[in-house]
Amino acid sequence: MSKTVFVTGATSGIGKACAEKFAKNGYDVVITGRRVDLLNQVKSHLEKNYSIKVTALEFDVQNRAAVFTSVENIISLHPTIDILINNAGLALGRDAFDEANIDDWETMMNTNVTGLLYITRALMPHLKASKGHIINIGSIAGKEVYENGNAYCASKFAVDALSKAMRIDLVKHGIKVTSVNPGAVETEFSIVRFKGDTTKAKAAYIGYTPLVAADVADTIFYCASLPAHVCINDLTIMSTQQANATMFFKES
Ligand code: NDP
Ligand code: 8X3
């Protein structure tokens, strides 16, 4: 029987690349996001190219009722969920603590931390039943705090803590927990962070070769493909030219 992966935030970037990678390898896929047009495009693309079952769920991970209802509704279609990739997330702004927008702080916390908690709790019975694998997308920003990173870094430090906490509490159920922490990946991330300012977004990647979403998806797939007795707990993946959270070797 084919396995099922549940990927949050699969309308673009790392989540979309994960959906493609797992679909290519025969997994049934549940994809989620808020932009229904993009969700449907990803679903059609996967169904056209791979002989797998694809279910698209439109909801905002910040909406607790929507998360729990959506998960309940898919279980008849996908009775077994083997892998959860907690990927939906965002940064908003890159401002000093004293100037940052408080609404942005709330959105980052509610999405990156509370949303991840909701999804994971909603899927808990299914992951227990399958002795499944939770893969949380953290960040280098969850390992090192950088200037003007304040609430985004805090949200990813929280993801780091939750990965450790889940691993401790869920080991008795045979559930694996892996934290994958990328450095700079060129996706829609910077366009979202800089609120549509594509010049600022592009500037984040000038002078060096960033990761692309497929680099991260390939690594996640590797983590998910190991034997039952092997778990990568924590993995940081960076562009070769990125030495830490903020230091990039830029060719002149
Ligand atoms: P993208 O902006 O390309 O993708 C983000 C995805 O998250 C989209 O599919 C978006 O879907 C979804 N999403 C965002 N907010 C919500 C929400 N409230 N409810 C449901 N879905 C939501 O960025 P990336 O692919 O780069 O980011 C994916 C993850 O990787 C994030 O957690 C990010 O923090 C992390 N990361 C990214 C790095 C980078 O440099 N790009 C580096 C390290 C970590 P939609 O808008 O349709 O809802
Ligand atoms: C995204 C990477 O360095 O912009 O988590 O924070 S960074």
For residue 169, tell me if it sits in a domain: yes
Cβ(214)–Cβ(159) below 8 Å: no
| Centre of ligand 1 from the C-alpha of residue 174, in Å | 28
Which CATH number belongs to the domain containing residue 197 in this structure? 3.40.50.720
For residue 44, tell me if it sits in a domain: yes
E-strand spans in 46-189? 54-58, 83-86, 133-137, 176-182, 185-186
Q: Does 239 contact ligand 1 (Cβ within 6 A)?
A: no
Q: Does 242 contact ligand 1 (Cβ within 6 A)?
A: no
| Centre of ligand 2 from the C-alpha of residue 73, in Å | 34
Q: Distances from the Cα of 43 to the Cαs of 56, 68, 224, in angstroms? A: 7, 21, 22
> Which amino acid is residue 20, in one-letter code?
E
Name the active-site residue from 118, 152, 205, 208. Answer: 152
Q: What is the rounded CA–CA span in Å between residue 245 and residue 38?
A: 31
Q: Whose CA is nearest to atom 6 of ligand 2?
A: 141
For residue 250, tell me if it sits in a domain: no
For residue 58, tell me if it sits in a domain: yes
Cβ(28)–Cβ(53) below 8 Å: yes
For residue 193, tell me if it sits in a domain: yes
> Which amino acid is residue 73, in one-letter code?
N
* CA quadruple 62, 150, 210, 135: dihedral sign: negative
Cβ(56)–Cβ(43) below 8 Å: yes
For residue 245, tell me if it sits in a domain: no
Instruction: State yes or no: is 152 an active-site residue.
Output: yes
> 3-class SS at 157?
helix
Residue range(s) defining the domain that contains residue 117: 4-237
Q: Does 87 contact ligand 1 (Cβ within 6 A)?
A: yes
Tell which residue, 18, 22, 31, 79, has the closest CA to residue 50. 22
Q: Does 33 contact ligand 1 (Cβ within 6 A)?
A: yes
Which ligand is nearest the CA of 212, by number? 1
Which ligand is nearest the CA of 109, by number? 1
Cβ(18)–Cβ(7) below 8 Å: yes
Cβ(237)–Cβ(180) below 8 Å: yes
The answer to whether the pTM exceeds 0.80 is: yes
For residue 244, tell me if it sits in a domain: no
Give ligand 2 pocket residues (Cβ under 6 A): 139-141, 184, 245
For residue 43, tell me if it sits in a domain: yes
Closest ligand 1 atom number to CA of residue 60: 19
- What's the structural domain count of the chain? 1
Which ligand is nearest the CA of 217, by number? 1
Question: Left (φ > 0), alpha (ψ -120 to 50) or beta: where does 42 sit?
Answer: alpha
How far, rounded to the nearest angstrom, does the alpha carbon of residue 86 sit from its chain's CA centroid? 4
Q: What is the pLDDT along the chain (252 residues), one digit of tens a residue?
A: 899 999 999 999 999 999 999 999 999 999 999 999 999 999 999 999 999 999 999 999 999 999 999 999 998 999 999 999 999 999 999 999 999 999 999 999 999 999 999 999 999 999 999 999 999 999 999 999 999 999 999 999 999 999 999 999 999 999 999 999 999 999 999 999 999 999 999 999 999 999 999 999 999 999 999 999 999 999 999 999 999 999 999 987
